Structure 1
Amino acid sequence: MFEGLKVVVGLISFIMVYRTITGNCNKYLAFAICAIWLRFFLSAFHTITYPSLVAGFSINALSSISVAGLGLFFLPFAVFTLRKLLPFYFLFVAIAISGFVNMLIPGTINVLVKWCYFLVLTGAIFLSVRAQGHSITFKKLLVCFFMPVAMQVLSIVLGEVKATENDGSASYIGGYNHEAAFSMIIVSFIFVLGLTERHAIRFRTTLFTIAVFLLILVNYRTAVLTILPIAAIFYYSLVEQRLKPSQKAPVLTVVSMFLIFVFVALSFTMRERFADVGTLASNLDLIFKAPAYFTEAEKDIMSSRVYLWSQYIDALTNSDLLQQLLGYGPEAWNGVFKHYAHNTYVSYFYEYGYIGLFSFLFLCSYSLIITAGVKDKRLSKILPLSLIGFLTMNLATMPLWNIEGLIFFAILIGVSLGNTAPARARYSFRNQLALLTTTD
């Protein structure tokens, strides 16, 4: 029955996407909408789209390759020559070198295709923001999320639940495969809602609040940490916009206290899920402790994540110099460890060595500078804190390993680049392309 509902909701979402892209929608935004919707649609039918189909590639993988390839030909070449994208290319080169030195060609291609997907989606969002502004761009992007959000609501109503973690706690993920990837879909939905202008859509505040509760029901704690700054700024700004200057100080103080109270209340209700975070914070030396010296109790911290990180770190630090510099190669963990690292920084350290890790840290720092440099006052608050939340999430899971996480990252970077233009006027596409080659 639930699989049948997926088909019905999928067809409805297809009609909604078609009507959106055939309306007042520039071609770059239409490309982004189709790419994101296709990923969410195919992922809903994971029993069909995940298994290998042709030459070891699944339907999902083939669709990602197609989107990345199409984007490279469809988007203007000038987009890919932006100097602001240079830190990303440093990381891509580090990945490629590590892969070829370690002769892990399939893994290298797989990782670079994912980052190429990110690159073309970032370029499409960037051009759309320059063409029609971020308000229209994000209002129309919301149509991509209809299917996963509708399926999650139906899973709650019909009791379609997945047991997760060692405690068997419930996750409502709409019949999708895994809560990690699905949580990033809802995080992106919350992010896009938060970036839409006031009065751009009806019931915006209600939808945002519902989306936050939907993310909590996904029951993926690292994702909850990611949206906390987004939610805090959203509600804080919502109150601030309705106040006179003389009212702001006392009212916003009360609002701040209320938000703190809500945060404490949520932390208390989810204390069992977050208890290990406090344990790790007070014992950070465990991360660098040799796995052979872990006690049985220490092995269980954060669902064995800390013990897993120590194995990855210990493996590379005890290797030769060349291996430490370049790592073991893309996806080298597969066949060596039972589980992936559940930490992007640790994973990049193991796979790409010190060079890859420092390239990624440079990328993160540079991205933070870009998000902080947007000229829109509201966005200058939301974007940096959203990025910080996302980078924090990468400490305990690997959203950049999934296309869903790269979609969120692409939207964030795309809108940041699009709002760093020297002028805020609307441009024709010809003027935009001229701007690409002269200002960047």
Structure 2
Amino acid sequence: MSPAPQRTAAAERELVAAAVAAAARRLAGSQDDAQVRAVLYDEGLAWVDFPAGWGGLGVSAGLRAFAAEALAAAGVPVPDPHANAIGMGMAAPTIVEYGTDEQKALLARIYTLETIFCQLFSEPGAGSDLAAVATRAVRSGDEWTVNGQKVWTSGAQNADMAILVARTDPTVPKHRGLSYFLIDMHQPGVETRGLRQITGESEFNEVFLTDARVPDAMRLGPEGAGWQVANTTLNSERVSIGGGAAREAGMIGVVAAAWRAHPEYRSPAARAELMDLWIESEVARLAGELQRQQAAAGRPGPEGSGAKISFARNAQALSALDVRMRGAAGLRYDDWADRRPEHYSMTGRNPVYRYLRAKGNSIEGGTTEIIRNIIAERVLGLPGEHRVDKDIPFEDLPR
């Protein structure tokens, strides 16, 4: 993403306030979500830190929360930030960083929910080691033919398009032979199968690609640069997962609200644990806010990995506390039926659902073990692990 023009903090806030006033005038009290989203995109309030003309105003990412507060104060409904989460939190930052103007035209459709995205990265043999993906994309003229299998794909059953990492050159080491694509999920050759989870839901999927076609115009970034482009997506994902912009957003808000509403849940031990977790959540929130502001001047860095680890640890501890402090009532589950949810919420349904769903937080967005390696090597500058396959062509690696 290009650096934002140098403005004072006051000038940036004035720019956002002017955009909010313009949006409020155009909407005149409308509550229609589609109309609201279209107007907010036009006025640069979809992602205020994106460039002007592409859903943003080119201001600090830290002003996203200010924009949401100003919109609410002006009577404009603030769209659900979790709708099209992969499109808005992962695909959009990557498209705005690497995309052509034709590809950036998708940004409006992502924000207005006309085009729902999923993420085709992980594979059965390449989960934690994303660079080991074996899905092949072979070029013929202005088109690529893709064959392979992806797994753990959230929301694939509802997706219109996907961000895809595929191997385009097996003759070079694994990190250098990848390319990044935007692929149509409705075309022939794309099959989605649900994976039932411990919660009973089939939120994740495996996706089979058989002679699926991708125009070269939908390749994002240079051919062979897929690892670099994918890291922009992953860093954005970890910042997105890592924390909310508002105090008591997410699991801490759910548990704190239950504590306040039910005196019978309270005990000295639960109080002490909740206070510790509240403080950890607030520190993580403020650290995440700093990272979002730093990202406004360029790509998100590996520091976002720390926020992702904190989120996973806190969500799991909070959901466990939530179950324990409710006693026997906390062990009741509403429904084990297999569901294919249109949207999912990590804080939804009931305490048992939240407790079970939080177990996946250690895996999604990069396993905790891999994230710790990233922090050690790219943030702290510690020596990397010994990697025997680093310089070997992918086609020569044992699999």
Alignment TM-score, normalising by the size of structure 2: 0.28
Alignment TM-score, normalising by the size of structure 1: 0.26
Higher strand share: 2
Higher helix share: 1
Q: Does 1 or 2 have the higher relative contact order (CA < 8 Å, sep 6+)?
A: 1
